[in-house]
Amino acid sequence: MDVLAQLAALDPAVVFGERALELGAEYLAEDRLFYVDTTTRKPDHLEARCFAHGQNRQTYVVQLDARLHRGTLDVATSCTCPVARACKHGAALFLAIRPAATPTVRGWREELAELSAAVDRKRTRLNSSHRCISYAVFCLKKK
């Protein structure tokens, strides 16, 4: 397994902690990283760098180093922010370069079965409400 596959499988909370990971996800969602670049990409080694917009108009340099050594993945980040290591900026960079999990491919039969079931549920709801409405109209006309 190469370093990218290991990164995809790694739980980032183990490296950064829950709070830094949560804040890093917010940074990424707010587009506060720029010039994200993978400087080294080998099967057993990955280095990445970016700049992060901090609070009070500060700009930080963030680096990530991931190395695969004897089947074990070592991930280290450094940042020019006051926290310096395993900070929210490093977590944001990790999330930015981490490959997405491989999506499961569904066949057309599964898609068709799901859509058909949804249509049947909707039709049943419409028919039952149509009967209730018709009965209510019948009762009103009767009076």
What does the pLDDT look like over 59-108, one tens digit per residue? 999 999 999 988 889 999 999 999 999 999 999 999 999 887 555 566 77
Report the C-alpha gap between 1 and 6 in whole angstroms. Answer: 7
What does the pLDDT look like over 7-44, one tens digit per residue? 988 999 999 999 999 999 999 999 999 999 998 889 89
DSSP string of 45-64, one letter each residue: EEEEEEEEE-GGG-EEEEEE
Residue 132 has pLDDT above 70, yes or no: no
Distance of CA 19 to the CA centre of its chain: 16
